[in-house]
Structure 1
Amino acid sequence: MDAVVRGLAIYFVLLFIIRLSGRRTLAQMTPFDLVIVLVISETTQQAMLGDDFSITNAVLLILTLFATDIGLSYLKRWWPRVGHVMDGVPTILVIDGMFDSNAMRGCRLDREDVMEAARGQEGIESVKEIKFAILEVSGAISIIKKPDLTKS
């Protein structure tokens, strides 16, 4: 039973910390972020297993983590507000060619992050060509290009 409690505690602590770190972390993984993930995984493994390295304990922890994840997915389906709290909501970064500085600051993104996504997705060279840029809950930036009115 101790392994289940440890597993649940670590799961929710990590969920909380990742949620606080923001979606930018999910979208743009740097070598530093990879090192952090590796260190965190080793640390959490030790915290969850304690002194019991048996296969039975490992299987129990794996089942606990998967059951928790599945349970939370049902909870988010039944109560969408829980999903908004856990996963966040999309954030509009650009509206009709204008950066929303407050949204950008809140998401810890800079203009170059948005323009990199715009160039990669739509071949856009200027923010004035963007109708909407949206930071999705997955951490990806979606670009919606303004309609080209010069084509008839």
Structure 2
Amino acid sequence: MEMIFRALAIYLILLVVFKIAGRRALLQMTSFDLILLLIISEATQQALLGNDFSVTGAMLTIITLVVVDMLFGIMKKYFSGAESALDGSPVILVENGTLLTEKLKKVDVSCDDILVAARQNQGITELEKIKYAILERNGHISIIPLEK
């Protein structure tokens, strides 16, 4: 039973930490981010399993994490507002070639981040050619070009 509570606690803690970190943390992974992810995963593994390195303990932990994730999925499906509370909502960062600076500050995204997404996804190199840039729930930036 202790393993179930450990898994639930770690899941909720990571959910809160990454919610606080914001979607910016998902936008681009640098070498520092990779190192941090490895350290977090090692600390999480130790916290989840404690001194129990049995296959049964690992299976119980995995099942608990998957069930909690499924329950959050069900909550998002049936309770209005749960998806926005857990995943956030899309944020428009550029509208008709104009940066929406207050929204950029709020989500901690730079103009360079938008231009990188524009170049990679649409081949656009100028902000003025972007109709909309939208920070999606998953941390990616969608680019909608201005019509020619």
Whether 1:55 aligns to 2:51 is: no
Q: Secondary structure at the match of 2:147?
A: coil
Aligned equivalents of 1:128 and 1:108: distance in 2?
Answer: 21
What amino acid is the match of 1:119?
R
Aligned to 2:131: 131
Compute the displacement of 1:80 (Å): 3.2
Q: 1:93, 1:120 → 2: CA distance?
A: 17
| Residue equivalent to 1:76 | 76
Displacement of 1:108 in angstroms is 1.1
- 1:87-142 residue CA offsets vs partner (Å, 9 max, x unmatched): 00001000111000011111111111101111121221211111100000111100
* 1:98 match: 98
Q: Residue 139 of structure 1 aligns to a residue in which SS?
A: coil
For 1:72 and 1:83, the matched residues in 2 are separated by 9
Give the aligned partner of residue 121 of structure 2. 121
Matched-pair identity in %: 43
Secondary structure (helix, strand or coil) at the match of 2:18 reads helix
Letter in 1 for 2:125: E
Cα separation, 1, equivalents of 2:62 and 2:78: 24
Question: Does the residue aligned with 2:61 lie in a helix, a strand or coil?
Answer: helix
> Partner of 2:140 in structure 1?
140
Number of residues of Structure 1 aligned to a counterpart in Structure 2: 148
Q: 2:92, 2:106 → 1: CA distance?
A: 11
Alpha-carbon distance between aligned partners in 2 of 1:23 and 1:80, rounded to the nearest angstrom: 21
Aligned twin of 2:107? 107
Match of 1:134, SS state, is strand
Distance 1:58 1:123 in 2: 45
Q: Mind listing any 5+ residue stretches in structure 2 that lack a counterpart?
A: none
| Structure of higher CA gyration radius | 1
User: Secondary structure of the equivalent of 1:125?
Assistant: coil
What is the distance in 1 between the residues matched to 2:116 and 2:52? 47
Q: Which runs of 4 or more aligned residues in structure 1 lie more than 6 Å from their structure 2 counterparts after TM superposition?
A: none
- Verify: 1:32 aligned to 2:53, yes or no: no
Q: What secondary structure sits across from 2:144 in the alignment?
A: strand
The one-letter amino acid of 2:17's match is I
User: Secondary structure, in 3 states, of the residue corresponding to 1:142?
Assistant: strand
